[in-house]
Structure 1
């Protein structure tokens, strides 16, 4: 999927290793995937981005080929702060102190925290198909809870959701992707098999649940502290979302990000569902190149 890219496995501390591929030349660009996927979500656009950037596509902690440590009682191992620190360490190990950053879904939430905690490291930030986590939880109503049922399912105490998903991982993964996708043919059998196989590890299922549990607990604490201290995004921000998905229909995407930013925020919808890089790679690529 990443022909011409080199594979890296980088220790980032506390026994955790982050797996990534890197390729191309030019300014550094870090790509972070979402749930329930791996760095493979960038397969359609990373090679073309590599014509102008040094592209690093990483597996988040708990996903793909990266380490999957236990979450701990307070879920701190999967706080977006910890997951963001992983990626800063990865980029420094590859020789990049400052870089552009693109995050989709959970990767967008890690990117948001990374940009808050390490503003000097991020030149430009792009978030795909998300609004800030606390904003989305605060606006929960029946429509949102129905569309985002997994937010409330995955945060249940261990090991209830883990056991339910492990009971039929193949069906769960395929159903989840199909229910969020609005573009026929965006996922072929090979990539679906890859995502299912990456999720079959019980440690991967637990890690994904811990990612969401952290989002409802320790991440909320960190976000509240950042808001109270007046921390804002200091770099230009691009927000893109699927025009046929849930986020743009439920939230003022640009308005919510402008509340979090002290810099310029631009963006627009793209004609697809949740998976922008896979459903609408050409439009997503054009938007990224214009902004970056």
Structure 2
């Protein structure tokens, strides 16, 4: 499946790694990064709207969708630092030295790392329904943390997680599409099938992405926290109110990372770009105007 009206290109972003990206519109550049267990298609509504007055670049992340899925070597192949460098290289390949960046779920973690590592490249940053990696692990405690069981499963050493997921891949990935969706009609059957097919084909790389978030990604976040490195660009965060259920103040956590912050609680489910695209577009346009 493709986003209507967008061209598709394969772009080499690192040695032996190419991303597939949908590109549409004209004007100042905006890059949109998808989450789990999705592909770039999750942005189909938002991208079409933004393309009216922006150049919109919508890739599949390394390890997902139609992008390359290199074998994990040394635990850094799927670090968010590595994946953020992919995104910077992708934008540069289209002639954009500086661009706005929005990410959802896993893509938001990549976007945050891009903002921390490449502040001269990222003009504006939006993160949808995540906390920074180190904070996520710190608030995941007690019985309320059962909602994140997959984080712990995929953090285990290589072998068992991949085997367990492969044994019932559609049930595993479909579980999250079911329980995280406030409006099931927002993910129609053909899109759901596209997500499941893409995820089945990417089990080792998806697990490696999550495994990195229990290891090297935390180390990078802790270094930034210790050295006072923050997001210097205007930042917008849209989140469900998980904090109320799990006992933390999401906005306060985010203020420690971004001084120019707009934080909004949304009432839709996790897949907000598909469930409430008008709200997401409004928030992104407001961010780009700051």
- Settle same-fold status: TM greater than 0.5: yes
| Structure 1 residue matching 2:229: 3-state secondary structure | coil
Q: Bigger shift: 110-119 or 132-141?
A: 132-141
Aligned to 2:255: 258
The 1-side partners of 2:97 and 2:170 are apart by 39
Aligned to 1:13: 14
**Structure 1 residue ranges, 4+ long, deviating more than 4 angstroms after superposition:** none
| Structure 2 residue matching 1:148: 3-state secondary structure | helix
Contact 1:34-1:105 within 8 A present in 2 as well: yes
CA positional deviation for 1:61: 0.7
Contact 1:270-1:284 within 8 A present in 2 as well: no
The 1-side partners of 2:20 and 2:213 are apart by 23
The 2-side partners of 1:194 and 1:140 are apart by 30
| Structure 2 residue matching 1:260: 3-state secondary structure | coil
- Any stretches of 5+ residues in structure 2 without a counterpart? none
| Structure 2 residue matching 1:100: 3-state secondary structure | strand
CA positional deviation for 1:248: 6.1
For each residue in 1:247-286, what CA deviation from the matched residue of structure 2 results, as whole angstroms up to 9, or x when unmatched?
564332221111012x310121122111110111111111
Aligned to 1:163: 163
Alignment of 1:32-181 (within 5 A): 32-72=33-73, 74-181=74-181
The 1-side partners of 2:208 and 2:159 are apart by 10
| Structure 1 residue matching 2:236: 3-state secondary structure | strand
1:283 pairs, out of 279, 285, 290, with: 279
Aligned to 2:266: 270
The 2-side partners of 1:125 and 1:248 are apart by 25
- Any stretches of 5+ residues in structure 1 without a counterpart? none
TM-score when scaled to structure 2? 0.95
| Structure 2 residue matching 1:213: 3-state secondary structure | helix
Contact 1:186-1:278 within 8 A present in 2 as well: yes
| Structure 1 residue matching 2:184: 3-state secondary structure | coil
CA positional deviation for 1:141: 1.4
RMSD of aligned Cα (Å): 1.3
CA positional deviation for 1:2: 1.5
Whether 2:244 is the aligned partner of 1:235: answer no
Q: Bigger shift: 134-143 or 116-125?
A: 134-143
For each residue in 1:144-172, what CA deviation from the matched residue of structure 2 results, as whole angstroms up to 9, or x when unmatched?
42111110011112111111111121222
| Structure 1 residue matching 2:280: 3-state secondary structure | helix
The 2-side partners of 1:17 and 1:90 are apart by 9
Structure 1 residues 51 and 247: CA distance shift in structure 2, 3 A: farther
TM-score when scaled to structure 1? 0.94
CA positional deviation for 1:123: 0.6
CA positional deviation for 1:233: 0.7
Contact 1:80-1:219 within 8 A present in 2 as well: yes
CA positional deviation for 1:140: 2.4
CA positional deviation for 1:184: 3.3
Number of positions where the alignment pairs a residue of Structure 1 with one of Structure 2: 286
The 2-side partners of 1:183 and 1:198 are apart by 22
